[in-house]
Copies of this chain bind each other. A is one copy, B any other.
């Protein structure tokens, strides 16, 4: 996965008590917290800080809750979790139909709110998190998601075993990967000593990808230990 960074939460609440409680609890769970105390500040804060999720208390001093939601949804699709003291059904329906993702009534359990937060982040995360894996070298590029390798614009075909080996090396780029580890992951636990396989397949990869296969610049041998991929 790509994101080790903590999720950023925008907490919108005019009650300093609740805002403070949320900040403490969320920070303790590793979230990065930004706060806003009214609707206009909330809209501004979203534009500026780009949070991963918004916790929005209804009953703000300046704007109606639904207005805030609509103001956000006009241009942004960040998940919104609404907090409200009112358990009225119409309020919920209005907020949800305006574009809120969830609606929690006060008093609420912090555990529950955190779980709903995780759910919201998880949902929005998996759609966006795909686009990472693209590794480049001087002579070829590797797309881990598409399982494609291009060299001088033309696509190079790798077989299943070639790809498994290549992927393992690329995912550990810059680091040495031992023979045992490579054999283990590509061929299985019972091939730990068949280092001949490695020689054959590394040679094939070099022949397909290195500009000068006999003088490898990216798929390097560490004699007696293993192999290393250098971007």
Chain A residues within 8 Å of B, Cβ to Cβ: 77, 89-90, 92-93, 96-97, 99-103, 109, 111-112, 114-116, 118-119, 122-123, 126-127, 145-148, 159-161, 163, 174-176, 222-225
Is A100 within 8 A of B119, CB to CB?
A: yes
The verdict on A223 contacting B90 (CB below 8 Å), with A118-B97, A146-B174 known, is no
A119 / chain B contacts, CB cutoff of 8 Å: 96-97, 100-102
Is B111 within 8 A of A93, CB to CB?
A: yes
Chain copies in the assembled complex:
2
Is B126 within 8 A of A77, CB to CB?
A: yes
A160 / chain B contacts, CB cutoff of 8 Å: 222-225
The verdict on A148 contacting B123 (CB below 8 Å), with A96-B115, A109-B89, A223-B159 known, is no
Write the chain B residue with the least CB distance to A175.
B146
A227 CB to nearest chain B CB (Å): 11
